[in-house]
Structure 1
Amino acid sequence: MTLGGGDLGHTDTTGTHPHGMEDLCADGRRLYADSLRLGRIRRSEAETAPCLLEFALLQPDPDDSAWLRPVPPMTALSQRLLPLERDIRQRREQAVQLAQAFEPFLSIATHSRPTTHAITVLEGVERINEAIRLAQSNCRSEILSVQPGGGRSEPALTTSFRLAQEAPRGIVARVLYQHTARHSPGTLNYARMMNDTDMEFRTARELVDRLIIFDRAVAFIPAQDDRKVALELRHPGLVDYLVKVFDQQWRNADPLFREQPRETSVDGVPEIQRTIARLLVEGQVDEAIARRLGMNVRTCRAHIAKLAAALGSGSRAQLGYLIARSGLLDDESAPEGQEPEGQD
């Protein structure tokens, strides 16, 4: 490093002194102090602290090359502070220039109607999590959360527990899992630990995707299947719609610690396999069905095999045809409260 350089960092070529001048090694501090007290030290003594020469805290004695003399501390300090002060001055000048550039726009914004970003695109897991943490820290009354995909991972549960403990008392939280979460010891233990809080857990057979709503004012939904892009929604109409969607799912869900209702069956086909049949007819692949129902792909394929055996199907293509002809999904063809077309 040259004198007056702006970089305080230093890595010695030998790899023995990877430190900056602001964090001198023990040998460097001791030898520099000795040189100041004695006026000079032998060059051979300074071999254990080559950083002193590289940082120009020692310089050759003009009268005897076997000795080194210390550079006065005030001189060394001034040489390092000068580039920092110059950088600070330049940044202040840049800040003034930016303020002057935005001044005309600030005056316009002051006299115009305030606007809210109704939809904000959040890219990257870190930015998504930071936005959710900020919304949770500002939450004062209610959290609604849909967590599809079966049991939660240990790190996710640990983070959720820590955040729940840090949240202000009095916040009511309702969390929706899928029925498969009932077989996850970690998720069940987490729910039991939260028994003394205002959190309530329910499970449903099928959930569309992840959703979090804070105080019915801001909602977060994924924008991609890999969940690396999310949308932060603050438009009152959108958030209110999502609250209604959540409430409907909540009403149809079962409390986590209540015995799950026994599977109903139609013509010997359990409800879970009827749900899979519907998704197969919709053209969903095995991986998408498993994700939708919160189970692993192997379990999903086992249900598909049982469904195929029940309908006498010999191939995947034939299975879709047999499902359509079996009448298995006839009572699911029309929305609730609406008669199928063609009926008086």
Structure 2
Amino acid sequence: MGRGAPDGEEAHEHGVGDLCEAGERAYAQALREGRITRSDAREAVCLVSLGLLHPDPDRLDEYVPTLPGAALSRSLHELSAALEGVRRRMSAVGGVAERFAGFEAREVPPAGVIRVLEGKRRIRAVIAEEAGRCVFEHVGFQPGGIRTSEVLENALPLALGMAARGVRMRSLYTHVARHGQGILAYLEQVGDLAEVRTLDEVPERLVMFDRTVAFIPASPDRELALEIRNAAVIDYLHGVFERMWRVAVPFREALPAVGGAEGFTHRERAIAALLAEGHTDAGVAERLGMSVRTCRAHIAKLAQALGSSSRVELGVRIARAGLDSPPRSPGPGPEGAA
């Protein structure tokens, strides 16, 4: 997989022999200090393309240098691997042999690695590659609200490819996603191997394949992601998913009624519980996958129903009404447990 400049930045087309002046200065600084900030390396994106700088997983606002000898060795290795891939394709005797030759030619990160991926385009490309070789299971968290038709259409080819290989696909969405028609049409096209359940809120995005590799965001704008191949971390993330999956509500089932605090909807109770925790309107909306405007409309209904005239008073009345804890919905039962 080739390295490239971050999305939105123009990569230099020259090689090491005619490295630009800005690149030489930035590389010298990185070697001298052991690292360099992204802002200091902004005009030298060629260093990333050439493998002379790479993101620091522990300090995402900085790059660390690759020693010149190591960078040269890696370039020679990649060139050798590319030539070997051409030779294999030319000598392939059939589609199956060609497919396996492609697997052997790819440089697969070793187990235990946590790698930084930069730029949404690259992140999507790496995830698509892993989806293409997934053989038995794909799970993920999908935070936010209603999925647009465009998003679902872009995901459909990958899902259909996994379904054709018999891969079981399970995704957790927020309850708000139920209000969109796209997911139901998506599930009908993919078939029974794709399952969706919903909760009031889910954690940040998680994409996992075959319990061997996972991807999570590493920045709020999702321009950085972590590719995780550490077995202990993978097991932990998969365990979290399974626990949330067991208590989530299957997409094709109606949300069950919740006990206590009669007269309030499931969503109003979820909003009330987050308000009681001290979240702002925008924070509540983000966690439940709805717009701020919709969230504020629900908050206004809560205030009116509880007879509250101020935000502080609303918090007190929420507690008195027993709405200060999330609504608990009964799980799907033992047959739905993974």
TM-score, scaled relative to structure 1: 0.59
Deviation at 1:305, TM superposition (A): 1.0
The reply on whether 1:244 has 2:239 as its aligned counterpart is yes
The reply on whether 1:177 has 2:173 as its aligned counterpart is yes
Contact residue 258 and residue 266 of structure 2 kept, 8 A: yes
Q: 1:152 aligns with which of 147, 151, 172?
A: 147
Deviation at 1:222, TM superposition (A): 1.5
Flag the 1:244–1:279 CA change in 2: closer, same or farther, 3 A.
same
Q: Secondary structure at the match of 1:152?
A: coil
Deviation at 1:282, TM superposition (A): 2.4
Distance 2:207 2:71 in 1: 40
Flag the 1:285–1:244 CA change in 2: closer, same or farther, 3 A.
same
Partner of 2:333: none
Q: Secondary structure at the match of 1:159?
A: helix
Partner of 1:36: none
Distance 1:171 1:299 in 2: 37
Alignment of 1:216-255 (within 5 A): 216-255=211-250
Deviation at 1:142, TM superposition (A): 0.4
Distance 2:110 2:177 in 1: 41
Q: 1:201 aligns with which of 191, 196, 201?
A: 196
Contact residue 265 and residue 271 of structure 1 kept, 8 A: no
Q: Secondary structure at the match of 1:266?
A: coil
Partner of 2:95: none
Deviation at 1:135, TM superposition (A): 1.5
The reply on whether 1:261 has 2:266 as its aligned counterpart is no
Flag the 1:146–1:305 CA change in 2: closer, same or farther, 3 A.
same
Q: Which consecutive residues of structure 2, in runs of 5 or more, have no partner in the other structure?
A: 1-67, 78-108, 328-338
Distance 2:152 2:173 in 1: 13
Deviation at 1:184, TM superposition (A): 0.5
Distance 2:261 2:147 in 1: 32
Flag the 1:101–1:192 CA change in 2: closer, same or farther, 3 A.
closer
Contact residue 264 and residue 271 of structure 1 kept, 8 A: no
Partner of 1:186: 182
Q: Which consecutive residues of structure 1, in runs of 5 or more, have no partner in the other structure?
A: 1-96, 107-113, 333-344
TM-score, scaled relative to structure 2: 0.60
Percent sequence identity is 45
Contact residue 263 and residue 272 of structure 1 kept, 8 A: no
Distance 1:184 1:115 in 2: 40
Distance 2:175 2:69 in 1: 55
Distance 1:188 1:115 in 2: 38
